[in-house]
Structure 1
Amino acid sequence: MTDWHTVSLAAVAFPDPERVRWFVQETLGPLAHDGPAAAEHRATLLSYLQSGQSLVRSAKEQHVHRNTIVYRLRRIEELLPVPLADHRLQIHVALHLAAHFGTRTP
């Protein structure tokens, strides 16, 4: 069970799960893959974006050192098909959608 605020963006903006997965895969590239490394990168990036791009708060939330977040973000930037600075909103939405709908295509 979940509340409306948790799923409202996904439900209203992307009613078609197939298109959601396409958007997620196109926006996140290799970060949309299944597997522990991609999942860790998605969690790190989502934490970083939700913390207002605070390395310290993101590190605290992820229970890692600040330098680990810096290292992961560098790697994430290499993997993303588009620059984070130029596509922050799309990436943030794709991360939320991946959390709700998953990353696999049907």
Structure 2
Amino acid sequence: MIKKNLTKLKNKKIKNFSFLTFAQLANYIIPLLVFPYLIRVIGIEKFGLIMFVLSVIQYLKIITEYGFSLIAAKEVAQNKANINSLSRIVSNVFGSKIILLLLSSFLLLLIT
């Protein structure tokens, strides 16, 4: 029984590892295939502008995220039995993210 469960767990880990490896490889390979096509279709200047805008958005996303995914996951795990605490945690995280989103949107308006 234990041996069967260990084998099942090992197979699940191998399956998860394989899927995550494939997903990570796809994240590297797909842009290598798509970017040359986009450059050819929209031109190098527009492509550069799009990449610049995406990089600015990524910086603003860092401000908005502010590590909430890690903190919230820890807090939810510690308070999973208390519905009131979970509600408060989710409300605080979303409220904070909305405030940071508004601040980063204002910052974006100042930049442009």
Is TM > 0.5 for Structure 1 vs Structure 2? no
Whose RCO is larger (CA < 8 A, sep 6+)?
1
Using structure 1 for the length normalisation, give the TM-score. Answer: 0.31
Structure number having the greater helix percentage: 2
